[in-house]
Amino acid sequence: MPLKPSTPDVRFLRMGGRLLEAIAHYHDHRVFGLEHLPRKGRAMVVVNHSFATYDIGLLVLAIYKHTGRLIRGLGDRALFRTPGLATISRKSGVMVGTPEHAQTLFEHEKLVLVAPGGMLEALRSSEERYQIRWQRRKGFVREAIIGQAPVILAACPQADDLYQIYNNPFTNWIYKNHRLPFAFLRGIGPTLIPRKIQLTHRLSEPLVPPPLPTDDKAMSDAVDEFHYTICSRMEALMAEALGGTPDPAP
């Protein structure tokens, strides 16, 4: 039997929308490049991942207000093992980030959101802020090619400034052994209240995937090349959002 997208909890989304409106006001959230989003049809929106994470929700709300489309997220399995986050994810319509779920959403012509860096990227210390950890994450690229879905990048580097996150071996141990989000951090002063800074998302032009290859070797080459294009463009977009120039792509 063909898979079907999960059904979001509409009441929960309405409540969450009101909360996100308040957060958007707190951070004077703005989005540039919404015109790049299709009004219909499939596409993949790819974002950087901060520890706060709610900046992604602000983007989802902005996309809904601009296009009327509820973007569907693909999430790390660890989300669904974390109390609280699991409930929020399910009720928001997020699905586990498997190839089957990705292609199901594309077959239903959905907008699909992915954060390739996942928790590994979210748990970076502030010493590594504004950096993406996508270099070894190629699954999302493969699914975009298979689904022939244009890729639109969304950069919000300022989200890494909401908290000061300290580098410590315990965070790494918890993630490596239990895949749980744990970090030593602070926001305003010694509290966990996020800093009141402006959050801005910048969206790229659609990056069109190459034609679907006909054999495994061609697919591997296509994934590598498109992955390099995506990572290079995202690093440039992050730098643009910060008002600087990008470092050379690794």
User: Pseudo-torsion of CA 81, 82, 84, 85, nearest 10°?
Assistant: -90
Mean pLDDT by 10 residues, the chain (250 residues): 79 94 98 96 97 95 96 86 82 93 97 93 91 95 98 98 87 66 86 96 98 96 98 96 56
Non-local CB neighbours of 77 within 8 Å, separated by 6+ positions: 96, 97, 179
The pLDDT assigned to 245 comes to 46
Q: Which helix H or strand E contains 225, and what residues bound it?
A: helix 216-242
Residues contacting 212, CB < 8 A, separation 6+: 145, 146, 148
The residues, any chain, with a CB within 8 Å of residue 30's CB and separated by 6 or more, are 198, 199, 200, 201
Q: What is the pLDDT of residue 84?
A: 81
Q: Is the entire prediction scored with pTM above 0.85? A: yes
Tokens standing for residue 145:
């090619």
Say how many C-beta atoms besides its own lie within 10 A of residue 17's C-beta.
14
Q: What pLDDT, on a 0 to 100 scale, did the predictor assign at position 249?
A: 35
Tell me, what amino acid is at 73?
Answer: G
Q: Please report the domains of the chain, with CATH numbers, ordered by start residue.
A: 10-242 (3.40.1130)
